[in-house]
Amino acid sequence: MPRQHRPSVIAAPVALAASAVLLAGCTGELQGPGADGSWYAADQPYAGQLEIEGFALADPINQARHDRAVEALGTAVEVSVSAGAVDARSYASAAEAGDAPDLIYADRADIGYLAARGAIMPLDRCIQEAPVNLGQYSPAALAQVTLEERIFALPDTSTVPLLVTTSATTGTERGGALVESVGADPREWRVIQLWAAAEGTPLVTPDGRTATFDDPRIVAALDGWAEPSAETTLVESAELSTGVTGGSDEPDVEPQFGPVVDGAGEPIAVLKGYGWAIPVAGANPATACGYVRAVTESETWIDAVTSRAATPDSADAATDAETDAGTEQDADATGSADLAPLEVAGLLTANATADAELRGWVTDTDDASAATLRAAVDEAYAAAVLPTVTPADVSLKRIWSDAVDAVRSGELSAAEALAEAQLDAQNALDRGWANLAQALDSRTP
C-alpha cells in the first residue's frame, strides 16, 4: 500500500525544556568557572586539562576548527585529543567506573543509550551559562540528541545517504526501490532504517516506546531481500570527496550521484550524524562546554572552510607547479593542502547558518562536479526523515543484526527471527526508558 507523506526533518520542531530556551550567543571572550559556583564568570578564565575522545584531527576542517576552539579557551588550558571512535558500550562501562575523558565526540544514535546509562550529562547549565546559541543548529540534528525534553549533546556534522551509480545504462541512476537495486547489507541498521522510511513502516513507534520488528511488512522485506547490486553503492554524503570513483570498470563512465529513491521514485533519506557530549565523570565540564561552544559555532565552520579554500583556477595552478617542480603541493603550517570545492560539496555541518553559507560558496564556484554533488546532497537532505530517538538504539542495532544473521544462516525463518527480536527489542526499550528516568532523577537540576 502507498505510504503516507513523509514531512521533511529540516523544518521539524524541537521540543525543549523551559530551561533550555533558545539563547543568543554572547560576544567577547569565553569565560571559565567562577568562585560563585557558576560555570562561567569573568573572574576566573578557563584553566586545567581538557581530554577529548573521538575527534579526528587528521581531517583538515576538524583541525582548523579545533585550533580556533583551543585559541578561544586560552593558554591556561592544556588540550589532548584521541581520535579513536567512541564505542558506546565500552565507553559507558568505563564511565560507570569513573574512567572518562572530559568531552566525547560520538554518533548521535548513541547519545540516548549513553544518557540512559548515566554516562553523559544534560547540557542545561552549559547552554544557559555559556551561553550557547541553539538557534544556529539544525532543528533535526538537535532533535536527535534530545530525550525527555533535555539536550544531552550539541550536534556536529550531519550526513545523508546517497547512491553512487557506475553503470552506463539508463534507468538505475536514481536507484529504484531500495530492496530491489541498492547494493546494501540488510544487517546494517542504516539500511533497514532507510527501507522502513521508504515504506512508511517504522521499526519503533514515533513515541519511541514500542518496537515493531515483527510487523508483517518488515518480515516480508527480510524474507525477500534482494542481492546487492553491482552497479549502485550506498554511501554517506560525509564520505564523498575527490577520491570517490564508485569502483567502475568502465573508465569512460563517470559515477553518478543521487539520492536513494523509493518504489515511487521519490527521494528518501534518513538523517544521521555526530554530537559533542560531556561525561558525568569528566573532571572539567565547564571547559568542555566552552570548547564545544567554540568548535560548533557558525563562524568556526565557515572560517575553517573558506580560509583554506582553493578556487578551481588556483588548484589547477598548484597542480601545474607540482608537475614542474616535481614536488608535493605546498601545504600550510598544519601540513594540510588547500580545500577544493568538491571536498566540501558533501559537507553538512548540523549548523544551519554555516550550511547556508557553505552551500552558497560551493555553488558559486566554477566547479561543475562540486555543484552537481551538492545538488544531490541537498535533494536528499530536503527529503530526510528523522529516525525515532530512543535510549536503546545501541541495543536495537545489535538485536536487528542478530536476527538477520539467524535468517541468513538458515537457523530461523524471517518470521521466527523477528518474533524473537521483537521481544528483545521491547525489553531493551522498556529498560532504556526506565534507566533514563532514573539517571535524570539522580541528577540535581
Q: Which of 61-70, 239-248, 309-318, 319-328 is predicted least confidently?
A: 319-328
Going from N- to C-terminal start, the domains of the chain cover 1-159+272-370, 161-271+387-433
- Is residue 352 pLDDT above 60, yes or no? yes
Report the DSSP pairing between strands 154-159 and 161-165.
Answer: unpaired
The top-level CATH class assigned to 161-271+387-433 is alpha beta
- Is residue 18 pLDDT above 60, yes or no? no
Q: How far apart are alpha carbons 270 and 247 in whole angstroms?
A: 24
The top-level CATH class assigned to 1-159+272-370 is alpha beta
The per-residue pLDDT for 444 is: 53
The per-residue pLDDT for 135 is: 95
Kindly indicate the confidence band of residue 321, based on its pLDDT and cuts at 50, 70 and 90: very low
The per-residue pLDDT for 309 is: 67
As a whole number, mean pLDDT of residues 259-277 equals 88
What are the CA-CA distances from residue 19 to residues 126, 137, 442 (Å)?
A: 11, 17, 18
Q: Which of residues 199 and 293 earns the better pLDDT score?
A: 293
* Grid cell of 119 as nine digits: 554516562
Tell me the pLDDT of the chain averaged across its residues. Answer: 79
Cβ burial, residue 15 (10 Å; 0-12/13-18/19+): exposed
pLDDT tens digits for range 123-163: 998 998 888 999 999 999 999 999 999 999 999 999 999 88
- Is residue 345 pLDDT above 60, yes or no? yes
Q: Which of the given ranges, 6-10, 249-253, 290-294, has the highest pLDDT on average?
A: 290-294
Kindly indicate the confidence band of residue 34, based on its pLDDT and cuts at 50, 70 and 90: low
Percent of the chain at pLDDT > 70 equals 74
Residue pair 86/54 in contact by the 8 Å Cβ criterion: yes
- Is residue 6 pLDDT above 50, yes or no? no
Report the DSSP pairing between strands 150-151 and 154-159.
Answer: unpaired
To 5 degrees, how large is the angle CA 379–CA 385–CA 386? 135
* Domains 1-159+272-370 and 161-271+387-433 fall in the same CATH topology: yes
Residues 6+ apart with CB under 8 A from 175: 163, 165, 181, 182, 232, 258, 259, 260, 261
Q: How far apart are alpha carbons 126 and 20 in whole angstroms?
A: 10
- Is residue 11 pLDDT above 50, yes or no? no
